[in-house]
Amino acid sequence: MSKGKLVLENGTVFEGTLFGFNGISTGEVVFNTSLTGYQEILTDPSYSGQIIIMTYPLIGNYGVNKTDIESEKIHASGFVVGNYEDEWSNYQGERSLDDYLKKFRVPGIFGIDTRALTKMIRSEGAMRGLIADDKYDEKKLLEKVLASPSMSGLDLVKKVTVSGAYTLKSKNPKFRIAVYDYGVKKNILREFLKFDTELKIFPADTDHKEILDFKPHGIFLSNGPGDPEAVTYAIENIRKLNGQKTPVFGICLGHQLLAHALGGKTYKLKFGHRGGNHPVKNLDKNSIEITSQNHGFAVDETSLDADTVKITHTNLYDNTNEGFRHKKFPVMSVQYHPEASPGPNDSKYLFSEFMKLVQK
């Protein structure tokens, strides 16, 4: 393993040791506060274009396996950890995290002060960065960082969506669910398959007419990466699907796109919500859920028509919007991840609530 550096767009350089793929990689530098689940995080398509800092100090100690994946590859641009443990131990483990990163050509760096780095991101906001070998000139690396794209205005959905439609079925399917794939996680699909469903997963730019031709009992809008405002084709198709009798359920990016389709707006958070410990208040039930989150944008709930939309969930860290429902049509969405992976299971009831709408 060779020496490397993490260069931030504000000019700060953190020195450490490289692991995984030895190459130059740029992305938006963000932090995740989860204690476990690094493999699920790396393979979550919502992390496309981002370099992830893990705030938990010890990473790699249980290796990786074929089970704990949310897609077929790593989507993160890079991985930053405090201490990397190559001597992994787990009854399901198959290889080291180092080997896994090399397989998908993703660079990692360890041995840096992730606490200081995270505090910098919290105070200055998420910023562009780069992981590279120590041999490169810092001035040229900074120029490369500043030339890399900003997350605002970036459509990354086209990069992660499925290339063609495919079908998944429960043993005894009774209900057809059309899934718009903006970067869907496998565990979301697994949750739906528990309800005797036939899922047809469609590419993100599928025309709304093709969705309706499937004659779905429900329509799901998945999670995904990037700026929701840039995914104009998705917003337009969702707008044309709204007002139907078919129930609609959005998660994360799907939630934001649905807000745009209803005339609302989104904005970029300073450093985002990423981790498995975010308290959310369910305003309908007057209860608190600890949730799994991964998003850098949020819905401006003041931009939503109060006569049309009912706010259902609020983040207790910063009072940002975490969910809403349509007052007239069977439409519901949440900003966080009820399927977890990783994270708590407090919010899995949302799948049941949506399926009750479907069954009606």
User: How many Cβ atoms are within 10 Å of 163's Cβ, its own excluded?
Assistant: 7
Which candidate in 28, 75, 208, 252 is catalytic? Answer: 252
**H helices, E strands: number in the chain:** 10, 19
174-200 burial code (b ≥16 CB/10 A, e <16): ebbbbbbbbbbbbbbbebbbebebbbb
**Does the annotation mark 337 as catalytic?**
yes
Q: What is the largest CA-CA distance in the chain?
A: 63
> CB burial class (10 A; 0-12, 13-18, 19+) of residue 91?
exposed
The end-to-end CA distance of the chain, in Å, is: 58
**Does the annotation mark 252 as catalytic?**
yes
Phi/psi for 133 (5° steps) reads -65, 150
Which candidate in 70, 191, 198, 339 is catalytic? Answer: 339
Angstrom distance (rounded) from CA 113 to CA 122: 14
Q: Residue 23 gets which letter from DSSP?
A: S
Cα-based distances in Å from 102 to 7, 78, 105, 345: 21, 11, 5, 32
Contact yes or no for 305/341 (Cβ under 8 A): no
Q: Helix, strand, or coil here: 98?
A: helix
DSSP 24-40: -EEEEEEEE--SS-HHH
Angle between the 253-261 and 232-241 helix axes, to the nearest 10 degrees? 70
**Does the annotation mark 191 as catalytic?**
no
Please identify every residue annotated as catalytic. 252, 337, 339
